[in-house]
Chains A and B, each alone.
Chain A
Amino acid sequence: MENTNKLTKAQIDELATYCEDAELKQQEIIKVTDKYPEMTYRDAFDVQWEVRRRKVARGHKIVGMKMGLTSWAKMAQMGVEQPCYGYLADYFSVPEGGEIKMDELIHPKIEAEIAFVTKAPLKGPGIHIGDVLRATDFIIPAVEVIDSRYKDFKFDLKSVIADNSSSSRFITGGRMARLEDVDVKNLGVVMEINGEIVATGAGAAVLGHPAASVAMLANMMGERGEEIPAGTFIMTGGITAAVTVNRGDSINIRYQDLGSITAKFV
Protein backbone atom coordinates (compact mmCIF):
# COMPACT_ATOMS: atom_id res chain seq x y z
CA MET A 1 0.00 0.00 0.00
CA GLU A 2 1.27 3.47 -0.83
CA ASN A 3 3.05 5.13 2.00
CA THR A 4 2.51 8.81 1.25
CA ASN A 5 0.00 11.38 2.44
CA LYS A 6 -2.32 13.45 0.31
CA LEU A 7 -4.15 15.04 3.25
CA THR A 8 -2.86 17.73 5.57
CA LYS A 9 -2.55 17.25 9.31
CA ALA A 10 -5.61 19.49 9.75
CA GLN A 11 -7.64 17.28 7.42
CA ILE A 12 -6.52 14.12 9.26
CA ASP A 13 -7.58 15.72 12.54
CA GLU A 14 -10.93 16.69 11.06
CA LEU A 15 -11.58 13.11 9.90
CA ALA A 16 -10.45 11.75 13.27
CA THR A 17 -13.10 13.86 14.98
CA TYR A 18 -15.69 12.86 12.37
CA CYS A 19 -15.01 9.12 12.82
CA GLU A 20 -14.67 9.12 16.60
CA ASP A 21 -17.81 11.19 17.09
CA ALA A 22 -19.68 8.64 15.01
CA GLU A 23 -18.47 5.87 17.29
CA LEU A 24 -19.09 7.65 20.57
CA LYS A 25 -22.47 9.13 19.64
CA GLN A 26 -23.72 6.15 17.58
CA GLN A 27 -24.14 8.33 14.52
CA GLU A 28 -24.13 6.83 11.07
CA ILE A 29 -21.79 8.65 8.72
CA ILE A 30 -21.01 8.83 5.02
CA LYS A 31 -17.71 7.31 3.95
CA VAL A 32 -14.64 9.49 4.38
CA THR A 33 -13.50 8.94 0.81
CA ASP A 34 -16.61 10.84 -0.35
CA LYS A 35 -15.18 13.86 1.43
CA TYR A 36 -11.59 13.31 0.31
CA PRO A 37 -11.47 11.06 -2.77
CA GLU A 38 -7.73 11.69 -3.08
CA MET A 39 -6.92 10.25 0.36
CA THR A 40 -4.37 7.42 0.54
CA TYR A 41 -4.12 4.31 2.70
CA ARG A 42 -1.47 6.16 4.67
CA ASP A 43 -4.00 8.94 5.33
CA ALA A 44 -6.65 6.42 6.39
CA PHE A 45 -4.30 4.77 8.89
CA ASP A 46 -3.23 8.23 10.12
CA VAL A 47 -6.87 8.94 10.97
CA GLN A 48 -7.12 5.64 12.87
CA TRP A 49 -3.86 6.27 14.76
CA GLU A 50 -4.95 9.83 15.59
CA VAL A 51 -8.20 8.59 17.17
CA ARG A 52 -6.19 5.98 19.04
CA ARG A 53 -3.82 8.69 20.31
CA ARG A 54 -6.77 10.76 21.53
CA LYS A 55 -8.30 7.82 23.39
CA VAL A 56 -5.00 7.12 25.14
CA ALA A 57 -4.61 10.82 25.97
CA ARG A 58 -8.02 10.64 27.65
CA GLY A 59 -6.81 7.79 29.85
CA HIS A 60 -7.99 4.76 27.89
CA LYS A 61 -5.72 1.79 27.50
CA ILE A 62 -5.13 -0.10 24.26
CA VAL A 63 -5.70 -3.77 25.13
CA GLY A 64 -5.13 -5.48 21.81
CA MET A 65 -5.34 -5.46 18.04
CA LYS A 66 -7.75 -6.87 15.50
CA MET A 67 -7.49 -7.93 11.91
CA GLY A 68 -10.34 -7.44 9.45
CA LEU A 69 -11.17 -8.46 5.91
CA THR A 70 -9.11 -11.62 6.30
CA SER A 71 -10.92 -13.87 3.86
CA TRP A 72 -9.60 -14.08 0.31
CA ALA A 73 -13.17 -13.92 -0.94
CA LYS A 74 -13.91 -10.66 0.86
CA MET A 75 -10.64 -9.12 -0.32
CA ALA A 76 -11.40 -10.06 -3.90
CA GLN A 77 -14.89 -8.60 -3.47
CA MET A 78 -13.40 -5.27 -2.39
CA GLY A 79 -10.61 -5.43 -4.96
CA VAL A 80 -7.76 -5.34 -2.45
CA GLU A 81 -4.83 -7.62 -1.74
CA GLN A 82 -4.37 -6.90 1.93
CA PRO A 83 -6.57 -7.13 5.00
CA CYS A 84 -6.89 -4.24 7.43
CA TYR A 85 -6.30 -3.81 11.15
CA GLY A 86 -7.66 -1.88 14.09
CA TYR A 87 -6.97 -1.49 17.80
CA LEU A 88 -9.00 -2.61 20.80
CA ALA A 89 -9.56 -0.03 23.55
CA ASP A 90 -10.23 -1.06 27.15
CA TYR A 91 -13.94 -0.26 27.02
CA PHE A 92 -14.47 -2.55 23.99
CA SER A 93 -14.04 -5.55 26.28
CA VAL A 94 -17.18 -7.41 27.42
CA PRO A 95 -16.86 -10.20 29.99
CA GLU A 96 -17.65 -13.78 28.99
CA GLY A 97 -21.36 -14.35 29.68
CA GLY A 98 -21.87 -10.58 29.81
CA GLU A 99 -24.26 -8.13 28.23
CA ILE A 100 -23.67 -5.96 25.20
CA LYS A 101 -25.73 -2.81 25.17
CA MET A 102 -27.41 -2.18 21.83
CA ASP A 103 -27.88 1.48 22.74
CA GLU A 104 -24.12 1.96 22.51
CA LEU A 105 -23.95 0.54 18.99
CA ILE A 106 -25.42 1.23 15.53
CA HIS A 107 -25.93 -2.02 13.62
CA PRO A 108 -23.72 -4.67 15.21
CA LYS A 109 -22.73 -8.02 13.74
CA ILE A 110 -20.78 -10.80 15.34
CA GLU A 111 -17.87 -12.89 14.06
CA ALA A 112 -16.24 -15.96 15.61
CA GLU A 113 -12.47 -15.64 15.80
CA ILE A 114 -9.31 -17.12 17.27
CA ALA A 115 -7.16 -14.72 19.27
CA PHE A 116 -3.39 -15.03 19.63
CA VAL A 117 -1.53 -13.73 22.68
CA THR A 118 2.14 -13.04 22.07
CA LYS A 119 5.12 -13.58 24.38
CA ALA A 120 7.75 -11.85 22.25
CA PRO A 121 7.68 -8.71 20.12
CA LEU A 122 6.97 -8.99 16.39
CA LYS A 123 8.22 -6.30 14.07
CA GLY A 124 7.80 -6.32 10.31
CA PRO A 125 8.71 -6.27 7.52
CA GLY A 126 9.57 -9.87 6.78
CA ILE A 127 7.53 -11.57 9.51
CA HIS A 128 6.27 -15.03 8.46
CA ILE A 129 4.14 -17.73 10.06
CA GLY A 130 7.18 -19.35 11.67
CA ASP A 131 8.03 -16.12 13.53
CA VAL A 132 4.43 -15.86 14.70
CA LEU A 133 4.28 -19.42 16.00
CA ARG A 134 7.52 -18.91 17.92
CA ALA A 135 6.27 -15.63 19.41
CA THR A 136 2.85 -16.97 20.43
CA ASP A 137 2.19 -17.63 24.09
CA PHE A 138 -1.27 -19.15 23.63
CA ILE A 139 -4.48 -18.92 21.63
CA ILE A 140 -7.97 -18.38 23.01
CA PRO A 141 -11.47 -18.14 21.51
CA ALA A 142 -12.85 -14.66 20.85
CA VAL A 143 -16.02 -13.14 19.49
CA GLU A 144 -15.84 -9.78 17.83
CA VAL A 145 -18.78 -7.41 17.67
CA ILE A 146 -18.19 -5.28 14.62
CA ASP A 147 -20.15 -2.12 14.11
CA SER A 148 -19.29 -0.14 11.03
CA ARG A 149 -20.26 3.44 11.57
CA TYR A 150 -21.02 3.83 7.86
CA LYS A 151 -24.62 4.19 6.80
CA ASP A 152 -26.01 0.99 5.26
CA PHE A 153 -22.51 -0.58 5.36
CA LYS A 154 -21.55 1.52 2.33
CA PHE A 155 -17.78 1.83 2.52
CA ASP A 156 -14.48 1.11 0.85
CA LEU A 157 -11.28 -0.16 2.45
CA LYS A 158 -9.82 3.27 3.21
CA SER A 159 -13.04 4.32 4.93
CA VAL A 160 -13.07 1.10 6.98
CA ILE A 161 -9.48 1.69 8.09
CA ALA A 162 -10.26 5.26 9.18
CA ASP A 163 -13.20 3.78 11.17
CA ASN A 164 -10.84 1.48 13.13
CA SER A 165 -11.82 -1.45 10.91
CA SER A 166 -15.36 -1.47 12.39
CA SER A 167 -14.05 -2.50 15.80
CA SER A 168 -16.53 -1.97 18.63
CA ARG A 169 -16.78 -4.73 21.26
CA PHE A 170 -15.18 -8.09 21.90
CA ILE A 171 -15.55 -11.05 24.21
CA THR A 172 -12.88 -13.62 24.95
CA GLY A 173 -13.19 -16.79 26.95
CA GLY A 174 -13.38 -20.52 26.75
CA ARG A 175 -10.17 -22.46 27.13
CA MET A 176 -6.73 -21.22 26.20
CA ALA A 177 -4.39 -23.61 24.43
CA ARG A 178 -0.78 -23.87 23.36
CA LEU A 179 -0.36 -23.92 19.62
CA GLU A 180 1.36 -27.31 19.69
CA ASP A 181 -1.77 -28.83 21.25
CA VAL A 182 -4.31 -27.69 18.66
CA ASP A 183 -4.74 -27.89 14.91
CA VAL A 184 -5.56 -24.22 14.34
CA LYS A 185 -6.05 -24.56 10.60
CA ASN A 186 -8.78 -27.19 11.03
CA LEU A 187 -10.18 -25.86 14.31
CA GLY A 188 -13.96 -25.79 13.94
CA VAL A 189 -16.41 -23.20 15.25
CA VAL A 190 -20.18 -23.30 15.50
CA MET A 191 -22.14 -20.09 15.99
CA GLU A 192 -25.59 -20.17 17.57
CA ILE A 193 -28.00 -17.31 18.07
CA ASN A 194 -30.94 -18.07 20.37
CA GLY A 195 -30.12 -21.76 20.10
CA GLU A 196 -30.18 -21.90 16.32
CA ILE A 197 -27.02 -22.69 14.36
CA VAL A 198 -26.40 -19.75 12.05
CA ALA A 199 -22.83 -20.34 10.85
CA THR A 200 -19.99 -22.84 10.97
CA GLY A 201 -16.40 -22.61 9.84
CA ALA A 202 -12.80 -23.60 10.46
CA GLY A 203 -9.54 -21.74 11.09
CA ALA A 204 -8.35 -21.84 7.48
CA ALA A 205 -11.10 -19.35 6.59
CA VAL A 206 -8.66 -16.75 7.96
CA LEU A 207 -6.02 -16.32 5.25
CA GLY A 208 -5.46 -20.09 5.10
CA HIS A 209 -4.16 -20.13 8.68
CA PRO A 210 -4.89 -17.62 11.48
CA ALA A 211 -1.13 -17.22 12.18
CA ALA A 212 -0.78 -15.75 8.68
CA SER A 213 -3.07 -12.95 9.85
CA VAL A 214 -0.76 -12.09 12.76
CA ALA A 215 2.21 -12.07 10.37
CA MET A 216 0.37 -9.64 8.09
CA LEU A 217 -0.46 -7.42 11.05
CA ALA A 218 3.21 -7.28 12.04
CA ASN A 219 4.21 -6.45 8.48
CA MET A 220 1.52 -3.79 8.02
CA MET A 221 2.39 -2.14 11.34
CA GLY A 222 6.06 -2.42 10.38
CA GLU A 223 5.35 -0.11 7.43
CA ARG A 224 4.73 2.60 10.03
CA GLY A 225 7.72 1.60 12.13
CA GLU A 226 5.41 0.13 14.78
CA GLU A 227 5.90 -3.26 16.42
CA ILE A 228 3.54 -5.67 18.15
CA PRO A 229 4.82 -5.78 21.73
CA ALA A 230 5.06 -9.00 23.75
CA GLY A 231 1.79 -9.73 25.57
CA THR A 232 -0.47 -8.38 22.83
CA PHE A 233 -3.93 -9.88 22.40
CA ILE A 234 -4.65 -10.15 18.66
CA MET A 235 -7.97 -11.12 17.12
CA THR A 236 -7.07 -12.68 13.79
CA GLY A 237 -10.27 -12.17 11.78
CA GLY A 238 -13.65 -13.77 11.24
CA ILE A 239 -13.81 -17.54 10.75
CA THR A 240 -17.52 -17.25 10.07
CA ALA A 241 -19.33 -14.62 8.07
CA ALA A 242 -20.43 -11.61 10.13
CA VAL A 243 -23.95 -12.27 11.39
CA THR A 244 -26.44 -9.54 12.35
CA VAL A 245 -27.66 -9.53 15.95
CA ASN A 246 -30.69 -7.89 17.51
CA ARG A 247 -31.68 -6.74 20.96
CA GLY A 248 -32.61 -9.73 23.10
CA ASP A 249 -30.40 -12.19 21.23
CA SER A 250 -28.32 -14.68 23.17
CA ILE A 251 -25.23 -15.93 21.41
CA ASN A 252 -23.27 -19.10 22.02
CA ILE A 253 -20.18 -19.85 19.99
CA ARG A 254 -18.59 -23.27 20.38
CA TYR A 255 -14.95 -23.94 19.52
CA GLN A 256 -13.49 -27.36 18.82
CA ASP A 257 -11.75 -28.48 22.04
CA LEU A 258 -11.64 -24.87 23.34
CA GLY A 259 -15.02 -24.49 25.00
CA SER A 260 -17.51 -21.78 24.21
CA ILE A 261 -18.32 -18.10 24.56
CA THR A 262 -21.74 -16.76 25.44
CA ALA A 263 -23.16 -13.26 25.66
CA LYS A 264 -26.46 -11.43 25.44
CA PHE A 265 -27.46 -8.33 23.50
CA VAL A 266 -29.68 -6.07 25.62
Chain B
Amino acid sequence: MNNELIQSCGDELYQAMVNRQAIRPLTERFPNISVEDAYQISLRMLELRLAAGESIIGKKIGVTSKAVQDMLNVHQPDFGYLTDKMAFSQGEEMPISQLLMQPRAEGEIAFILKKDLMGPGVTNADVLAATDCVMPCFEVVDSRIENWEIKIQDTVADNASCGLFILGDQAISPTKVDLATCGMVVEKNGSVISTGAGAAALGSPVNCVAWLANTLGHFGIPLKAGEVILSGSLVPLVPVKAGDHMSLSIGGIGNASVRFV
Protein backbone atom coordinates (compact mmCIF):
# COMPACT_ATOMS: atom_id res chain seq x y z
CA MET B 1 0.00 0.00 0.00
CA ASN B 2 1.26 3.50 -0.70
CA ASN B 3 1.27 6.23 1.92
CA GLU B 4 -1.75 7.93 0.49
CA LEU B 5 -3.87 4.81 0.77
CA ILE B 6 -2.60 4.08 4.27
CA GLN B 7 -3.53 7.59 5.33
CA SER B 8 -6.99 7.39 3.81
CA CYS B 9 -7.70 4.02 5.47
CA GLY B 10 -6.55 5.46 8.82
CA ASP B 11 -8.77 8.49 8.30
CA GLU B 12 -11.70 6.29 7.41
CA LEU B 13 -11.32 4.15 10.55
CA TYR B 14 -10.98 7.24 12.73
CA GLN B 15 -14.15 8.74 11.25
CA ALA B 16 -15.92 5.41 11.70
CA MET B 17 -15.01 5.51 15.40
CA VAL B 18 -15.97 9.16 15.92
CA ASN B 19 -19.23 8.90 13.99
CA ARG B 20 -20.05 5.42 15.26
CA GLN B 21 -20.58 4.26 11.71
CA ALA B 22 -18.95 0.90 10.93
CA ILE B 23 -17.25 0.35 7.59
CA ARG B 24 -16.77 -2.62 5.30
CA PRO B 25 -13.64 -4.69 5.98
CA LEU B 26 -10.45 -3.21 4.50
CA THR B 27 -9.44 -6.70 3.42
CA GLU B 28 -12.57 -6.91 1.28
CA ARG B 29 -11.64 -3.75 -0.63
CA PHE B 30 -7.85 -4.13 -0.56
CA PRO B 31 -7.17 -7.86 -0.69
CA ASN B 32 -3.41 -7.36 -0.83
CA ILE B 33 -3.15 -5.38 2.39
CA SER B 34 -0.31 -6.72 4.57
CA VAL B 35 -0.08 -6.84 8.35
CA GLU B 36 2.70 -4.22 8.08
CA ASP B 37 0.35 -1.96 6.11
CA ALA B 38 -2.28 -2.53 8.76
CA TYR B 39 0.04 -1.36 11.56
CA GLN B 40 0.83 1.75 9.52
CA ILE B 41 -2.90 2.41 9.20
CA SER B 42 -3.33 1.99 12.96
CA LEU B 43 -0.58 4.57 13.51
CA ARG B 44 -2.44 7.03 11.29
CA MET B 45 -5.60 6.43 13.31
CA LEU B 46 -3.62 6.99 16.49
CA GLU B 47 -2.10 10.20 15.11
CA LEU B 48 -5.62 11.59 14.65
CA ARG B 49 -6.59 10.64 18.19
CA LEU B 50 -3.52 12.36 19.58
CA ALA B 51 -4.21 15.42 17.44
CA ALA B 52 -7.67 15.50 19.02
CA GLY B 53 -6.08 15.76 22.45
CA GLU B 54 -5.80 12.15 23.62
CA SER B 55 -2.55 10.87 25.13
CA ILE B 56 -1.00 7.41 25.12
CA ILE B 57 -1.08 5.65 28.49
CA GLY B 58 -0.23 2.09 27.48
CA LYS B 59 -0.73 -0.75 25.07
CA LYS B 60 -2.92 -3.77 24.64
CA ILE B 61 -2.19 -7.20 23.29
CA GLY B 62 -4.90 -9.02 21.37
CA VAL B 63 -5.42 -12.35 19.59
CA THR B 64 -3.74 -14.22 22.45
CA SER B 65 -6.02 -17.24 22.70
CA LYS B 66 -5.67 -20.28 20.56
CA ALA B 67 -9.37 -20.14 19.72
CA VAL B 68 -9.15 -16.59 18.36
CA GLN B 69 -5.85 -17.30 16.57
CA ASP B 70 -7.45 -20.30 14.87
CA MET B 71 -10.49 -18.21 13.94
CA LEU B 72 -8.30 -15.53 12.31
CA ASN B 73 -5.84 -18.13 11.04
CA VAL B 74 -2.80 -16.42 12.54
CA HIS B 75 -0.16 -17.73 14.87
CA GLN B 76 0.79 -14.60 16.69
CA PRO B 77 -0.95 -11.90 18.69
CA ASP B 78 -1.41 -8.27 17.71
CA PHE B 79 -1.28 -4.99 19.61
CA GLY B 80 -2.87 -1.58 19.85
CA TYR B 81 -2.45 1.64 21.79
CA LEU B 82 -4.35 2.70 24.91
CA THR B 83 -5.21 6.36 25.39
CA ASP B 84 -6.45 8.26 28.42
CA LYS B 85 -9.94 8.51 26.95
CA MET B 86 -10.32 4.73 27.03
CA ALA B 87 -9.68 4.36 30.76
CA PHE B 88 -12.48 4.17 33.32
CA SER B 89 -12.37 3.66 37.08
CA GLN B 90 -14.15 1.25 39.40
CA GLY B 91 -17.62 2.53 40.24
CA GLU B 92 -17.86 4.64 37.12
CA GLU B 93 -20.48 3.78 34.54
CA MET B 94 -19.10 2.90 31.15
CA PRO B 95 -21.11 4.72 28.44
CA ILE B 96 -20.83 2.09 25.74
CA SER B 97 -24.08 3.16 24.11
CA GLN B 98 -22.57 6.57 23.43
CA LEU B 99 -19.01 5.60 22.60
CA LEU B 100 -19.01 2.14 21.05
CA MET B 101 -20.81 0.32 18.28
CA GLN B 102 -20.67 -3.43 18.82
CA PRO B 103 -18.99 -3.87 22.21
CA ARG B 104 -17.72 -7.16 23.61
CA ALA B 105 -16.23 -7.60 27.07
CA GLU B 106 -13.22 -9.67 28.01
CA GLY B 107 -11.39 -10.32 31.29
CA GLU B 108 -7.68 -9.69 31.50
CA ILE B 109 -4.69 -9.12 33.72
CA ALA B 110 -3.19 -5.63 33.38
CA PHE B 111 0.52 -5.05 33.97
CA ILE B 112 1.74 -1.71 35.30
CA LEU B 113 5.43 -1.22 34.51
CA LYS B 114 8.01 0.43 36.75
CA LYS B 115 10.88 0.19 34.25
CA ASP B 116 11.15 0.52 30.48
CA LEU B 117 11.25 -2.69 28.48
CA MET B 118 13.01 -2.56 25.14
CA GLY B 119 13.19 -5.55 22.84
CA PRO B 120 14.58 -7.58 21.22
CA GLY B 121 15.84 -10.05 23.78
CA VAL B 122 13.26 -9.38 26.49
CA THR B 123 12.67 -12.54 28.55
CA ASN B 124 9.90 -13.42 30.99
CA ALA B 125 12.32 -12.63 33.80
CA ASP B 126 12.82 -9.12 32.38
CA VAL B 127 9.05 -8.61 32.24
CA LEU B 128 8.57 -9.67 35.85
CA ALA B 129 11.49 -7.50 37.00
CA ALA B 130 10.03 -4.50 35.17
CA THR B 131 6.47 -5.00 36.49
CA ASP B 132 5.38 -2.86 39.38
CA CYS B 133 2.04 -4.61 39.85
CA VAL B 134 -0.69 -6.58 38.13
CA MET B 135 -4.38 -5.62 38.29
CA PRO B 136 -7.73 -7.15 37.34
CA CYS B 137 -9.17 -5.57 34.22
CA PHE B 138 -12.19 -5.57 31.96
CA GLU B 139 -11.46 -4.61 28.40
CA VAL B 140 -14.43 -3.75 26.24
CA VAL B 141 -13.36 -4.24 22.67
CA ASP B 142 -15.21 -2.80 19.71
CA SER B 143 -14.80 -3.05 15.99
CA ARG B 144 -15.09 -0.26 13.48
CA ILE B 145 -15.64 -3.01 10.91
CA GLU B 146 -19.23 -4.07 10.21
CA ASN B 147 -20.43 -7.11 12.13
CA TRP B 148 -16.92 -7.91 13.34
CA GLU B 149 -16.17 -9.42 9.91
CA ILE B 150 -12.48 -9.07 10.59
CA LYS B 151 -9.37 -10.66 9.21
CA ILE B 152 -6.13 -10.08 11.09
CA GLN B 153 -5.26 -7.02 8.92
CA ASP B 154 -8.64 -5.43 9.68
CA THR B 155 -8.26 -5.69 13.43
CA VAL B 156 -4.60 -4.59 13.40
CA ALA B 157 -5.48 -1.49 11.33
CA ASP B 158 -8.35 -0.79 13.75
CA ASN B 159 -6.00 -0.43 16.76
CA ALA B 160 -6.46 -4.11 17.67
CA SER B 161 -10.23 -3.52 18.05
CA CYS B 162 -9.54 -1.51 21.18
CA GLY B 163 -12.53 0.12 22.88
CA LEU B 164 -12.56 1.04 26.56
CA PHE B 165 -11.19 -0.55 29.71
CA ILE B 166 -11.66 -0.50 33.45
CA LEU B 167 -9.11 -1.52 36.07
CA GLY B 168 -10.02 -3.05 39.43
CA ASP B 169 -8.91 -1.49 42.70
CA GLN B 170 -6.33 -4.07 43.72
CA ALA B 171 -2.72 -3.98 42.60
CA ILE B 172 -0.59 -7.02 43.43
CA SER B 173 3.13 -7.56 43.09
CA PRO B 174 3.89 -10.18 40.41
CA THR B 175 5.98 -11.99 43.02
CA LYS B 176 2.78 -12.80 44.99
CA VAL B 177 0.83 -14.68 42.36
CA ASP B 178 1.37 -17.47 39.83
CA LEU B 179 0.26 -15.67 36.69
CA ALA B 180 -0.05 -18.86 34.62
CA THR B 181 -2.39 -20.72 36.97
CA CYS B 182 -4.36 -17.90 38.60
CA GLY B 183 -8.04 -18.51 37.94
CA MET B 184 -10.54 -16.04 36.53
CA VAL B 185 -14.31 -16.11 37.09
CA VAL B 186 -16.51 -13.81 35.00
CA GLU B 187 -20.10 -13.05 35.96
CA LYS B 188 -22.65 -11.21 33.85
CA ASN B 189 -25.87 -9.97 35.41
CA GLY B 190 -25.31 -12.29 38.35
CA SER B 191 -24.52 -15.55 36.54
CA VAL B 192 -21.11 -17.15 36.15
CA ILE B 193 -20.66 -17.15 32.38
CA SER B 194 -17.06 -18.27 32.02
CA THR B 195 -13.94 -19.26 33.88
CA GLY B 196 -10.34 -19.46 32.78
CA ALA B 197 -6.78 -19.18 34.00
CA GLY B 198 -3.69 -17.14 33.14
CA ALA B 199 -2.35 -19.78 30.78
CA ALA B 200 -5.24 -19.13 28.39
CA ALA B 201 -3.19 -16.20 27.03
CA LEU B 202 -0.26 -17.71 25.15
CA GLY B 203 0.58 -20.01 28.08
CA SER B 204 1.05 -17.07 30.45
CA PRO B 205 0.23 -13.36 30.45
CA VAL B 206 3.96 -12.81 31.03
CA ASN B 207 4.67 -14.38 27.62
CA CYS B 208 2.28 -11.87 26.05
CA VAL B 209 4.07 -8.86 27.52
CA ALA B 210 7.47 -10.28 26.49
CA TRP B 211 6.13 -10.82 22.96
CA LEU B 212 4.96 -7.20 22.80
CA ALA B 213 8.27 -5.81 24.10
CA ASN B 214 10.18 -7.87 21.53
CA THR B 215 7.84 -7.03 18.66
CA LEU B 216 7.93 -3.29 19.36
CA GLY B 217 11.69 -3.54 19.82
CA HIS B 218 12.00 -4.18 16.08
CA PHE B 219 10.53 -0.73 15.50
CA GLY B 220 12.65 0.86 18.22
CA ILE B 221 9.61 1.47 20.43
CA PRO B 222 9.96 0.70 24.17
CA LEU B 223 7.29 -0.22 26.70
CA LYS B 224 7.66 2.63 29.16
CA ALA B 225 7.70 2.80 32.93
CA GLY B 226 4.23 3.73 34.17
CA GLU B 227 2.43 2.29 31.16
CA VAL B 228 -0.57 -0.01 31.47
CA ILE B 229 -0.25 -3.18 29.39
CA LEU B 230 -3.40 -5.25 28.86
CA SER B 231 -2.09 -8.77 28.37
CA GLY B 232 -4.97 -10.51 26.57
CA SER B 233 -8.27 -12.15 27.43
CA LEU B 234 -8.41 -15.29 29.58
CA VAL B 235 -12.05 -16.04 28.70
CA PRO B 236 -14.22 -15.92 25.57
CA LEU B 237 -15.50 -12.51 24.50
CA VAL B 238 -19.12 -11.75 25.34
CA PRO B 239 -21.36 -9.11 23.71
CA VAL B 240 -22.60 -6.45 26.15
CA LYS B 241 -25.24 -3.72 26.05
CA ALA B 242 -26.41 -0.79 28.14
CA GLY B 243 -28.00 -2.08 31.36
CA ASP B 244 -25.64 -5.04 31.72
CA HIS B 245 -23.50 -5.44 34.79
CA MET B 246 -20.36 -7.56 34.88
CA SER B 247 -17.84 -8.54 37.50
CA LEU B 248 -14.73 -10.65 37.46
CA SER B 249 -12.42 -12.06 40.08
CA ILE B 250 -8.89 -13.36 39.68
CA GLY B 251 -7.45 -15.75 42.27
CA GLY B 252 -4.67 -14.00 44.18
CA ILE B 253 -5.18 -10.66 42.39
CA GLY B 254 -8.63 -9.23 43.01
CA ASN B 255 -11.86 -8.07 41.43
CA ALA B 256 -13.16 -5.64 38.85
CA SER B 257 -16.71 -4.74 37.99
CA VAL B 258 -18.39 -2.56 35.45
CA ARG B 259 -21.86 -1.21 34.77
CA PHE B 260 -22.70 -0.44 31.17
CA VAL B 261 -24.94 2.46 30.19
What is A's interface to B at a CB cutoff of 8 Å?
A: 72, 183, 185-190, 197, 200-205, 208, 239, 254-257
If over half of B's interface residues share one DSSP class (helix, strand or loop), that class is named, otherwise mixed; here it is: mixed
Cβ 8 A contact of A254, one of B180, B184, B185, B196: B180
Q: Which of A72, A197, A208, A256 interacts with B183 by CB under 8 Å?
A: A256
- Least CB distance from B75 to A in Å reads 14
A-B interface, 4 closest residue pairs, ranked by CB to CB distance from nearest: A188-B183, A202-B183, A188-B197, A186-B251
Whether the Cβ atoms of A239 and B251 lie closer than 8 Å is no
| CB <8 Å contact, B199 and A205 | no
Q: Is the CB of A200 within 8 A of B200?
A: yes
Measured between alpha carbons, how far is A158 from B252 in the docked complex, in Å? 39
A-B pair number, CB within 8 angstroms: 80
Check B195–A204 contact: CB distance below 8 A. Answer: yes
Q: What is the interface of chain B, defined by CB distance below 8 A to chain A?
A: 66, 178, 180-185, 191-192, 195-200, 203, 234, 249-252
Q: Complex Cα distance A187/B183, Å?
A: 5
In the complex, the answer to whether A239 meets B252 with C-beta atoms within 8 Å is no
User: Which residues of B have CB within 8 Å of A189?
Assistant: 181, 183, 197
In the complex, A189 Cα to B200 Cα: how many Å?
10
* Separation of A254 and B180 alpha carbons in the complex (Å): 9
Cross-chain contact B234 with A257 (CB below 8 angstroms): no
The answer to whether B197 touches A256, judged by C-beta atoms less than 8 angstroms apart, is yes
Q: A69 → chain B, closest Cβ, in Å?
A: 16
Given contacts A186-B249, A187-B183, A187-B251, contact A202 B178 (CB under 8 A): no
Asked whether A197 and B199 contact (CB < 8 A) given A185-B249, A190-B180, A256-B182, the answer is yes
A-B CB contact pairs (8 Å), 29 listed: A72-B191, A183-B251, A185-B249, A186-B249, A188-B181, A188-B182, A188-B198, A188-B251, A189-B181, A190-B180, A190-B198, A190-B199, A197-B203, A200-B198, A200-B234, A201-B183, A201-B196, A202-B183, A202-B195, A202-B196, A202-B197, A202-B251, A203-B183, A203-B185, A204-B183, A204-B192, A205-B192, A254-B199, A256-B197
Closest to A183 in B: B251
Cα distance A188–B184 when bound, in Å? 7
Q: Which residues of B are found within 8 Å of A203, using beta-carbon distances?
A: 183, 185, 195
Q: Are B181 and A239 in contact (CB under 8 A)?
A: no
* A255 contact set on B, CB distance < 8 A: 181
**Contact in complex: A254, B195 (CB < 8 Å):** no
Establish whether residues B250 and A186, one from each chain, have CB atoms under 8 Å apart when the complex forms: yes
- Taking A254-B181, A256-B251 as given, write out 18 further A-B residue pairs in contact, using a Cβ cutoff of 8 Å, ordered by the A residue number: A72-B191, A186-B184, A186-B185, A186-B251, A188-B183, A189-B181, A189-B183, A189-B197, A190-B181, A201-B195, A202-B183, A202-B195, A203-B183, A204-B185, A205-B192, A254-B180, A255-B181, A256-B182
Q: Does the CB pair B192–A72 fall under 8 Å?
A: yes
Residues of A within 8 A of B192 (CB): 72, 204-205, 208
Q: Is B184 within 8 A of A202, CB to CB?
A: yes
How far, in Å, is B152 (CB) from chain A's closest CB?
21
A residues in contact with B252, CB < 8 Å: 183, 186, 256-257
Complex-state Cα separation, A186 to B180, whole angstroms: 13
Q: Which of A201, A204, A257 contacts B178 (CB 8 A)?
A: A257
State A204–B203 Cα separation when bound (angstroms). 21
A-side contacts of B197, CB under 8 Å: 188-190, 200-202, 256
Contacts of B185 in A (CB 8 A): 185-186, 202-205
The CA-CA distance from A204 to B183 in the complex, in Å, is 9
Contact partner, B195, options A197, A205, A257, Cβ 8 Å: A205
